[in-house]
Homo-oligomer: A and B are copies of this chain.
Amino acid sequence: MTRPKRPLVRSGTTVEEMARALADEIVRGTLAPGTKLGEGGLGERFGVSRTPVREALGHLSAMGLVERPPNRRAMVAPITDRRLTEMFEAMGELEASCARLAAARMTAGERNALDALHQGARALVRAGAQEAYEAANSRFHGLLYEGCHSGYLRDLVVATRNRVSPFRRAQFRLPGRLEKSWDEHDAIVRAILRGDSEAAAQAVRAHLFTVSAASAAFVTDRHAPPPKE
Chain A residues in contact with chain B, CB under 8 A?
Answer: 12-13, 51, 54-55, 58-59, 61-63, 70, 83, 86-87, 89-90, 93-94, 96-97, 100-101, 150-153, 156, 160
| A153 in contact with B54 given A62-B63, A70-B12 (CB within 8 Å) | no
In the assembled complex, the CB of A72 is this many whole angstroms from the nearest CB of chain B, namely: 12
Residues of B with C-beta under 8 A to A93? 93-94, 97, 100, 153
Would you call A86 and B54 a contact (CB within 8 A)? Answer: no
Nearest 5 A/B pairs, CB to CB: A62-B62, A58-B58, A93-B97, A86-B152, A86-B150
Q: In the complex, A54→B54 CA distance in Å?
A: 10
* Shortest Cβ distance from A15 into B: residue: B58
Residues of B with C-beta under 8 A to A89? 101, 150, 152-153
In the assembled complex, the CB of A167 is this many whole angstroms from the nearest CB of chain B, namely: 14
In the assembled complex, the CB of A42 is this many whole angstroms from the nearest CB of chain B, namely: 15
Q: In the complex, A153→B97 CA distance in Å?
A: 13
